[in-house]
Amino acid sequence: MRPTTSQNSVRKPTNVTLGEALLAEAKALNINISQAAEAGLAQAVAARRAECWLAENKAALESSNAYVETHGLPLARYRTF
In sequence order, the 6+-apart residues with CB closer than 8 A to the CB of 53 are: 1
pLDDT tens-digit readout, 4-44: 555 668 989 999 999 999 999 999 999 999 999 999 999 99
Answer yes or no: are the C-beta atoms of 36 and 26 closer than 8 Å. yes
- Side chain identity, residue 75: L
- 1 pLDDT more than 90: no
Q: Return d(Cα 48, Cα 54) in angstroms, integer.
A: 10
Going from the C-alpha of 24 to that of each of 29, 30, 39, 72, the distances in angstroms are 9, 10, 19, 57
